[in-house]
Amino acid sequence: MSKVRHIGVFGKRNTGKSSLINTITGQNVAIVSDIPGTTTDPVRKRMEIFGLGPVVFIDTAGIDDDGKLGEKRVEKTRSVIKTIDLAILIFTNNQVDKYERDLIKSFREEELPFIMVHNQSDIVALDPELALDLSEKERISILEFSCSLLDEQEQKEAVETLTSLIIAGLQDSSPGRTILEGLAEKGDKIVMVCPVDSEAPEGRLILPQVNAIRDALDRDAVAVVLQPEALEKYIKEEVVKPKLVVTDSQAFEYVSKIVPEDIQLTGFSMLLARSKGIFPQYVKGIDAIQNLKHGDRILILESCTHHSSCEDIGRVKIPRLLQKKCGMEFSFDVVGGLDSLPENISNYSMVIQCGGCMITDRQLQARLRPAIKSGIPVANYGMVIAYCTGIYQRAINPLI
């Protein structure tokens, strides 16, 4: 299943960021005016791009905003960079100065693909010398664009060109794996153990479960979804052996006792880590648990605020399990939401992140980057639980 890709639109005030989103989506989603500073908070608009699937456009406040409030808006605009898969940088009147260069620098630091668009080209055309200069010195090609073309057909073609650049740009950004990639083929039976207990969210499944079901369907595989209590009877009575059992990490211990050794078993948390491109780092992180020492500080990272069971897992269950498994005491700090990591990251001996099902791949990677860069082991909740309950090796075997 394709993931929802996020596209941020950046540039100085009044360059036509909001207009460009309206032009692409063909809707008046963002307010447009000739007053600089019209967009104040990031505005999101979801749409389907043919050949790519669902994307979310994020309109931002001008990067050149000033004054006390303006600085706050710029900060918010900058924070969007870490959350997206592709950036569109808009400029007009052939002006590429410190604001644009600063943004380009940030995109490159984040290894974020970007497209540069010279907008309002109906008023001032793109200077070919500037285009050549940027192409030769910076390896950036520029799209000459206008949101106000009178000829409908011309406007349509301009949007088509921009869309094809967006598709190409997004293909450059890490495509990520789908959740069951390499694990399920046509006709394979995949059993998904999804506990519906007091810890499960009201009236719905969590995102990795939904994604796994959809991915199984996309692969013409058979998804069997059941609660842990129904598993034993199901395994005993089924004539066709499942290819794989995927379980919520809360039920690891119980499920691993029921699923015979000749059936592959893994967890949604491992599949999620793999699809978010962070699995190898987590495997390294789990390997490093054996080096922890008594009194070490461990940072727990939560990335969502809506799922109360995550809170208990991070604050209560993991500290208890890990200390028991290692036979020593640690001190735990918890950082919630999308707050930045503490400055003193090097004081920690390990970082344990929740699954991150509500944040994008890049958001998760950006969040953990400072820890990984400092050589601090990172892992996620589910993989730590698997390690502590003795089923880690079995659960990662299907994925390595």
Ligand X SMILES: Nc1nc2c(ncn2[C@@H]2O[C@H](COP(=O)(O)OP(=O)(O)OP(=O)(O)O)[C@@H](O)[C@H]2O)c(=O)[nH]1
Give residues in contact with Mg ion (CB under 5 A).
17-18, 38-39
Q: Does 163 bind ligand X (CB under 6 A)?
A: no
* Eight-class DSSP state of 68: H
Task: Centre a 10 Å sphere on the Cβ of residue 188 and count the other Cβ atoms it contains.
Answer: 18
- In the list Mg ion, ligand X, none, the entry touching 154 (Cβ below 5 to 8 angstroms by class) is none
Give 333's strand partners.
299
What is the smallest separation between the CB atom of 109 and ligand X, expressed in angstroms?
23
Task: List the x/- string, 90-129, binding to ligand X by CB under 6 A.
Answer: -----------------------------xx-xx------
326-362 burial, b for 16+ CB within 10 Å, e for fewer? beeebebeebbebeebeeeeeebbbbbbbbbbbbbbb
Nearest distance in Å: CB 99, ligand X: 12
CB of 169 to Mg ion, least distance (A): 21
By CB under 6 A, the count of residues binding ligand X is 24
Collapsing DSSP states into helix, strand and coil, what is residue 38?
coil
To the nearest whole angstrom, how small is the minimum distance from the Cβ of residue 182 to Mg ion?
43
**Smaller CB separation from ligand X, 64 or 215:** 64
Q: How far apart are CA 166 and CA 87, in angstroms?
A: 9
Signed CA dihedral, 249, 252, 258, 261: sign only: positive
Phi and psi at 294, nearest 5°, equal -50, 130
Nearer to ligand X by Cβ, of 18 and 264: the residue is: 18
Q: Name the nearest CA neighbour of 59 among 43, 38, 73, 41.
A: 43
- Interface residue with ligand X among 6, 8, 10, 16 (CB under 6 A) is 16
Considering only 19, 211, 249, 380, the residue that binds ligand X (CB under 6 A) is 19
Least separation in angstroms between residue 307's CB and ligand X is: 34
Q: Which of 67, 66, 57 is nearest to 90 (CA)?
A: 57
With contacts defined by CB under 6 A, name the span among 33-41, 102-110, 183-191, 227-235 that binds ligand X.
33-41
- Least distance (Å) between residue 49 CB and ligand X: 20
Nearest-angstrom CA–CA distance, 257 and 153: 64
Which of 38, 323 has the CB closer to Mg ion? 38
Binding site for ligand X (CB under 6 A): 11, 13-19, 32-34, 36-39, 61-62, 119-120, 122-123, 146-148
